[in-house]
Amino acid sequence: MGARNNLRRKTAILLAAAIIALLPSFTAQNTDPVIRVAISSNLSGALISDGGEAGLGAFYEAAVGEKADILLDFGNFYNGSPISDLANGENAASVASIAGYGGMALGPRDWLFGKEQLLLLEKRSGVPILAGNVIDTASNKPLFSTKYIAVVASGIKIGVFGIIGEDMAALTPDGYLAGISYADPVSFAESCASELKRDGCIAAVCLGQTYDEDLISKLSLIADLLIAPGDDISINGPVITLGSSRQSSFGLVEMRYSETQKKLYAGLMRNQAYEMAPKATSDVAKSIAGFEAKFNQALDGPLGESLISVPNETNGSGSETTLGRLVCDSYRFATNADIAFESSKAIGKSLPQGTLSYRDSLNALPGGGNIITVSLTGDEVLSVLEQSTQTAMHAQQPNASDPQPFSLHVSGVKYNYDPSMPMGKRVYNTQVQGEPLDLKKSYTAAINSQLAALPDYPVLNSARKCQDSIGCFSALSSYIQRGWFSASLSEARIIESPLPEGSEWRENGNQSGSNPGQSAGSPVQGSPGQSAGSSDQGPPGQSAGSSDQGSPGQSAGSSDQGPSGQSHNGDQGHSSYDRIGYDENGSYVGLSGSPHANGSSDSQSAAGNANVSSASQASVKNPITGATASLAVPLAMLGASIVIAACLLAAKLKGKKA
């Protein structure tokens, strides 16, 4: 009995000693100086909450509630949401200024208003873009003047700098990056870290816009903490990752400094479910409310004319609709992709015949999102079509739980399917821009970024992203503005029909790649009884059989108007917004150009005077359908009114704040 009590006493003493030994470390961790950093990413100009995700106003309120010492953005701040796109990002810049952002990284979509507009947004917001390895080739100097920023809180001083890797830069269409090159990010990071230490900073934080694992590894050895893109919010040693969706890339990081280890570390990270509507009492909320009111007024402005109605009702065969075809056509036109997909659930209200407004465009695509292009093999395209067919067939069952499935609308693709065949062998006679699908060839597909995130289509979910592009609303609005409507929109692209009896295809299925009239083993998927490579329909705007294809609707090598009047050679989409100009003093000087069918733009008159083009009529050829239609160019994008109000409201609020 005594021996047992002695054992208990010894155990208690050892346990107490262990606890006492650990107490200093717990105490040190809790009392280490902390800098609370609120980080947003992939806001895409969303001042207000949309698509089920919180906007900038909600993020700001959460940051204030968390008592953040500084607000940072990790990129893709300005472009991609209707409210910001109609104002060329000017309203987002004003809100960023009022919110007091300390700095922002450079994301691929931040370029999509054009280089000059991006520099103007940086100037108007007063928020430095931290991407010091971006070089202006004309001057051979950094494009952005701020190399790094210093943050002081809790008695400690840290420095923050940013880089963009060439892998991330490649996601921006080339035409937006004319005159841009990139310095070595590792050498730039080493230079920043050295200068920050000389400047009295105890640590350096890098905003690293790159997926390159080797580069991330090198940067993590230079910076004390590295913020990088990932699938979700997480902390892994010195590397903090932010998710790809807006909601999964909001967070608060507690950066603490250990006096004993002389080291900065991420002590805590929260990603709470932010309120979907900001409080109405802050200057930020008042500013956003003013922009939202002007945005709602602008939505009722004229956008274009349609000589036909564009319904979102099926014709009884599958879930394909005329509006779905139009939306996909607009995606393909904006990106010059080979094909385009959009979920049937993303398609909204039908478009009426006659004058269309921006609100009509928004109602047609109410869910938001931006366009990305991904690379797919022909075999992967076929897999996506098979999955879409399976989903559509399930929805047609009497006991289907979801009457509107995530089946897909398409552009650039036409195919037949036989519902009596097993999955994987239903789709046949698949053609891409009039040519038989080549199972081994790589194709570019334009899709909504939200579709890429859905688990329904694992092929799209895991596909390699090629480029980021403009918002889906902007792409559709641009297409409507050009007036490219035709009766061909009502022609089916997804056709239910039985396979010919006795055909070799019925036995072997699509995956074998063989069909009547084609030698077995060929990777090209033609139609039964048709030789591989032949086509009864040429790609859009091009005669059948032609192999020298430029961008849709133009001859190979020709150029069309890109951002800020720049020309391109089929490597980017079209700007969907007029250039709204400001002089060097920040005064509004009106439109600097309106897009025209022939690719020209109205030149701006003397500084300080708006030059608004009058409506013009032109007969143009639709690069997607090949049809000719009347093009109506409206007086001006109504974003100008939003920007004027933005300037007045921002000045009033800042004056009151001062």
pLDDT tens for residues 173-220?
878 888 999 999 999 999 999 999 999 999 999 999 999 999 999 999
Secondary structure E strands in 472-553: 494-496, 524-525
Distances (CA, A) of 45 to 38, 99, 128: 17, 14, 17
Question: Residue 447 — very low, low, confident or very high, per pLDDT cuts 50/70/90?
Answer: very high
Reduced 3-state DSSP string for 1-42: CHHHHHHHHHHHHHHHHHHHHHHHHHHHHHHCCEEEEEEECC
Structure tokens at 179: 């005159």
Structure tokens given for 564: 């800020």
Amino acid at residue number 21: A
Amino acid (1-letter code) at residue 369: G
**If you search the block for the tokens 């951002």, which residue do you land on?**
563
Per-residue pLDDT of 6-40, as tens digits, reads: 545 555 554 444 444 444 443 344 588 999 999 98
- Bigger pLDDT: 397 or 342? 342
Q: Where on the phi/psi map is residue 296: left (φ > 0), alpha (ψ -120 to 50), or beta?
A: alpha
- Amino acid in the structure at residue 614: S
Alpha carbon distance 506, 515 (integer Å): 9
Residue 325, pLDDT > 80, answer yes
Give the model confidence (pLDDT) of 345-375 as tens digits.
899 999 999 999 999 999 999 888 889 999 9
The predicted pLDDT at position 41 comes to 87
Provide CB contacts within 8 A for 398, sequence distance 6+: none
For 335, left (φ over 0), alpha (ψ -120 to 50), or beta?
alpha
Confidence band of 271 (pLDDT split at 50, 70, 90): low
Find the Cα–Cα–Cα–Cα dihedral 470, 475, 478, 482, rounded to 10°: 140
Task: Return the higher-pLDDT residue of 658 and 324.
Answer: 324
> What was the pLDDT predicted at 402?
55
Per-residue pLDDT tens digits for 628-649 = 333 233 323 344 444 444 444 4
CA distances from 54 to 44, 102, 276 (A): 11, 21, 5
Terminal CA-CA length for the chain: 78
CA angle 247–252–254, rounded 5-degree value? 155
- Report the pLDDT averaged over residues 62-85: 89
Rounded (10°) CA dihedral 108, 187, 191, 151: 30
The alpha carbon of residue 110 and the mean position of all alpha carbons in its chain are separated, in whole angstroms, by: 10
Confidence category of residue 454, pLDDT binned at 50, 70, 90 = confident
Neighbour-count burial for 425-449, b at 16+ CB within 10 Å, e otherwise: bbbbbbbbbbbbbbbebebbbbbbb
Report residue 168: phi and psi, to 5°.
-75, -40
Mean pLDDT across the chain:
74
Q: What are the start-end ranges of the H helices in 282-374?
A: 283-298, 322-335, 358-364
pTM of the model: 0.71
CA–CA dist 180, 229 (Å, integer): 23
pLDDT band, residue 490 (cuts 50/70/90): confident
- Model confidence band, residue 378 (pLDDT cutoffs 50, 70, 90): very high
Q: Among 275-279, 490-494, 562-566, 621-625, which is the least confidently predicted range?
A: 562-566
Highest mean pLDDT among 75-84, 237-246, 437-446: 437-446
pLDDT of residue 398: 56
Half-sphere exposure of 545 toward its Cβ, with a 13 Å CA cutoff?
A: 3
137-155 pLDDT, tens digit each: 999 999 999 999 999 999 9
Other C-beta atoms closer than 10 Å to the C-beta of 281 total 9
For residues 648 and 523, which has the higher predicted lDDT (pLDDT)? Answer: 523
Chain segment 403-413, per-residue pLDDT in tens = 555 889 999 99
How do strand 494-496 and strand 413-417 relate by DSSP bridges? parallel
The residue written with tokens 């006679």 in the block is 429
Query: Tens of pLDDT along 283-303?
Result: 988 899 899 999 999 999 999
Number of H helices, E strands in the chain: 17, 32
Nearest Cα neighbor of 249 from 209, 197, 306 is 209
